[in-house]
Amino acid sequence: DPSPESTFVCPIIIEDDRTGLDTETIRRALRDNLLYIQGKLPELASKNDLYMALAYTIRDRLLQRWLTTQQTYLKKDVRTVCYLSAEFLVGPHLANNLINLGIYEQVQKAVSESGLKLEELIAQEEEPGLGNGGLGRLAACYLDSLSTLEIPAIGYGIRYEFGIFDQEIHDGWQVEITDKWLQYGNPWEIARPEAGVEVKFGGYTESYTDENGNYRSRWIPDYVVKGIPYDTPILGYRVNTANTMRLWKSEACESFDFGRFNRGDYYGAVDNKVHSENISKVLYPNDEPIQGKELRLEQQYFFVSCSLQDMIRIHLHENPSLNSFHQKWSVQLNDTHPSVGVAELMRLLIDVHHFDWDKAWFITQNTFAYTNHTLLPEALEKWPLSIFGRLLPRLMEIIYEINHRFLDKIRIIYPHDDGKISRLSIIDESGEKYVRMAHLACVGSQAINGVAALHTELLKKDVLRNFYELFPEKFSNKTNGVTPRRWIVSSNPRLTFAITEKIGENWIKHLEDLRGLENYVDDGEFRDSWRRIKYDIKADLANYIDKKVGIKVDPSTLFDVQVKRIHEYKRQHLNVLHIVTLYHRLKNNPNLDITPRTFIFGGKAAPGYFMAKLIIKLINSVAEVIDNDPTIGGRLKVVFLPDYNVTFGQRVYPAADLSEQISTAGKEASGTGNMKFSMNGALTIGTLDGANIEIREEVGAENFFLFGLTTEEVYAKKAAGYNPQEYYYHNEELRAVLDLIGSGFFSRGDSSLFRPLVDNLIYDDPYMLLADYQSYIDCQEGVGRAYKDQEHWSRLAILNVARMGKFSSDRSIRQYCEEIWRVQPVKIELPDYIQANA
């Protein structure tokens, strides 16, 4: 809480140097920050010093907007969205803040004084890799849209000291390097140690009777950890709203250390400090499947407890009690990772604020909403009771009580159906006992959603069928979206300019306006300039590829791109089967007329995921053999670009001709890369999976390369006893391709290297590559033919961009606001001594 002195009204005199947006003022501010923040004379400043000076200059310009936003929210006592997520993959801040503030050009000029290009300073920023892939990146796009739509919101998460590892490739294999993103400091965050909170772990509970004769429970923890919030402003596009991303860092609790220290347990005290600091040390690098490691559960409870305590503190600052908590806060659970929040809010209301059970449950249920992001059974999170009960004994009790009351109600609806009861139970008692986090989230939330139309249907029919039957009204779909500010304006300035020249700049905030481009598909000059732009971007990427991996690629070839986490269900190896098929055809018929292609891959494998790592090795091995084969004569090139991340995504989406979205139908919940490609004028080759279905619906079936089994066909084939060997024996070309890989041809004669991969496909093939192989190959032939007619291809590309309006995260967030959160925009007025945005 603010100290009493803070009510003393003191007009703060703002130096013009920290708010002015004109070139001259920014020029002065840069020099000022270089000297007084970085402590460098211009002559001795490194590129990084200049980046830091610029970053602080921009942060200065955000601060008034940020503080005014927070003050307005407090004064107006607004309803606020809290997005709880274990990951926020925000990407570099600098360029986005320049664009959102509308001062890119001024800053460009101001920077040129230093003899550097703004683009070089932008490239200097180390991206915060606080996420694995789609789920964390979605959270970041949603924060951008929340601010742009002027919705009061806080993103709560973990400030990992080490984010997703940096990937290197050694001899074709992935090697993981620690991500030291904080080593040169982070100019975008402000620590708020005064808002620290404490979180309990371990120990036991005991019951007692309070002064009013009420039975209560007390949690005597084994250790207590302190959470320190680090805040980063998230500015909206051309608005004054700057919301907060509040990430928690774990620290040792001195008071607790002192107790041990004084008892002479020096080692114990230091050990506790080490353990406390470990909680926010490192991001778990698995994208889909969660492994049940205790530290991961500690991370989850840590950030959820910190965040809920923080909301309660803010709430009680403006309200007499927590009775209205659910009216002021809507808390979104990004997957089940924060779902222990359901039990934690119950604990805080009952144990700390002395609510009775029913009132606490009413508030809790009306506070939370849950987004599911996966259909993979192995990715549905569950915690062994043994671990859960030991680490969070009081929460375990509360979950038992929630479950008990829930199942009592269920028994009335399904009187003699024990099977139903055990399928719905929050506790899995079929073998070793587990807490099922998705069940806790479903029972404790007012709304449940999937992330694409197909995904939501499959949730209702399959994964969450029993819950859908119980409360169908809680379920809805919210198809994912991505922010056009980062994924078009910032990453693709040339395309942005070309679009804006024709239809104005409204599309940046209203992506549906891209429809206006349809008027220009028949304009030959426009198509010409469209192609020139794509070619120039591809030439830039070709230079970058040469610099990074020393491979020369030709920008006039078809750029066929697959960038995403490496996972068997995403089927990067199906893409490889196509490449080897083309290679095999060219070997047998060197004069074959094929469309020259450059295949570009990028993506990280979970460090413990053997098959994914082997797929990376396979891509690199095939790349090397093809590159060194003179008969190919550059008609095929394969490039694996190491260390795929947000920064590289911004480079590669604009340069793609073809987007590979080839997951087994029914496996990819939505996908969001699919949207980024298409918005940048790539055509998609894809299955009827996730959001691909909706993209195809929007852009038109004739502008989308579709192949493969449908979800129903996949299910039916599985049920009928899928046998991949039939495909292997009946398809000669497929057999030749698999045999070539299995023979050691791509592994210097070592026929054992890729055996596990080839055998898995022939004898098991859980993701049905062999069933989809022929359909994929045929479809790719159509792609190659289509690319030969460049005028035709340009038409399709323009139509793709023109029809992608639906996939702006602004649309997704509007739907969440109206249908789940019931929150409204709040305009932020700047004090009049602040220079307004451009």
> Which spans of this chain sit near ligand Z57 (rule: CB under 6 A)?
132-135, 138, 287-288, 335, 373-374, 379, 451, 480, 668-672, 690
Task: Indicate left, alpha or beta for 290 from its phi (over 0: left) and psi (-120 to 50: alpha).
Answer: beta
Length of the chain: 838
Token pair 């180390």 in the structure block, residue:
126
Residue 628 per-residue DSSP state: T
Token pair 């479809």 in the structure block, residue:
779
Alpha carbon separation from 764 to 61, 209, 568, 773 (Å, rounded) = 58, 60, 12, 15
Tokens of 276: 């406390």
**Closer residue to ligand Z57 (CB): 347 or 455:** 455
d(C-alpha 308, C-alpha 314), whole Å: 10
Cα 392 to chain centroid distance, Å, stands at 28
Contact between 248 and 158 (Cβ < 8 Å): yes
Cβ 23 to ligand Z57 shortest distance, Å: 40
Q: Is 200 a catalytic residue?
A: no
d(C-alpha 123, C-alpha 273), whole Å: 36
Cβ 669 to ligand Z57 shortest distance, Å: 4
DSSP letters of 156-198? EEE--SB-SPEEEEETTEEEEE---TTTT--TT-EE-GGG-EE
d(C-alpha 392, C-alpha 382), whole Å: 15
**Nearest residue to 498 via CA among 466, 468, 540, 531:** 531
**Closer residue to ligand Z57 (CB): 133 or 686:** 133
Per-residue b/e over 355-377, b at no fewer than 16 CB within 10 Å? beeeebbebbbebbbbbbbbbee
Cβ 565 to ligand Z57 shortest distance, Å: 7
Non-local CB neighbours of 759 within 8 Å, separated by 6+ positions: none
Residue 537 per-residue DSSP state: H
**Closer residue to ligand Z57 (CB): 138 or 577:** 138
**Closer residue to ligand Z57 (CB): 379 or 830:** 379
Cβ 21 to ligand Z57 shortest distance, Å: 35
Tokens of 178: 């620690």
Token pair 């945005």 in the structure block, residue:
837
Token pair 């054992």 in the structure block, residue:
752
Q: Which of 159, 200, 564, 597 is catalytic?
A: 564
**Closer residue to ligand Z57 (CB): 244 or 477:** 477
Cβ 339 to ligand Z57 shortest distance, Å: 12
Cβ 569 to ligand Z57 shortest distance, Å: 9
Q: Is 676 a catalytic residue?
A: yes
**Closer residue to ligand Z57 (CB): 364 or 371:** 371
Token pair 């289509």 in the structure block, residue:
786
Q: Which of 200, 246, 676, 696 is catalytic?
A: 676
Q: Which of 672, 684, 687, 711 is catalytic?
A: 672
C-alpha angle with apex 243: 240 to 247, nearest 5 degrees?
Answer: 155
Q: Is 557 a catalytic residue?
A: no
Residue 782 parent element (H or E): helix 769-788
**Closer residue to ligand Z57 (CB): 671 or 681:** 671
**Closer residue to ligand Z57 (CB): 444 or 450:** 450
Q: Is 570 a catalytic residue?
A: yes
Q: Is 75 a catalytic residue?
A: no
Residue type, 247: L
Contact between 241 and 828 (Cβ < 8 Å): yes
Cα 664 to chain centroid distance, Å, stands at 21
Q: What is the 3-state secondary structure (H, E, C) of 102-154?
A: CCHHHHHHHHHCCCCCHHHHHHHCCCCCECCCHHHHHHHHHHHHHHHCCCCEE
Residue number closest to ligand Z57, CB atom: 134
**Nearest residue to 306 via CA among 254, 396, 229, 202:** 229
Q: Which of 326, 382, 439, 565 is catalytic?
A: 565
Q: Which of 40, 570, 597, 667 is catalytic?
A: 570
Cβ 379 to ligand Z57 shortest distance, Å: 5
Cβ 568 to ligand Z57 shortest distance, Å: 13
**Closer residue to ligand Z57 (CB): 138 or 682:** 138
**Closer residue to ligand Z57 (CB): 49 or 288:** 288
d(C-alpha 63, C-alpha 69), whole Å: 10
Cβ 335 to ligand Z57 shortest distance, Å: 5
Cβ 664 to ligand Z57 shortest distance, Å: 12
Q: Which of 246, 326, 373, 394 is catalytic?
A: 373
Contact between 426 and 444 (Cβ < 8 Å): no
**Closer residue to ligand Z57 (CB): 690 or 708:** 690
Token pair 């598909």 in the structure block, residue:
521
Q: Is 672 a catalytic residue?
A: yes
**Nearest residue to 680 via CA among 800, 795, 565, 791:** 800
Cβ 373 to ligand Z57 shortest distance, Å: 4
Catalytic residues: 373, 564-565, 570, 672, 676
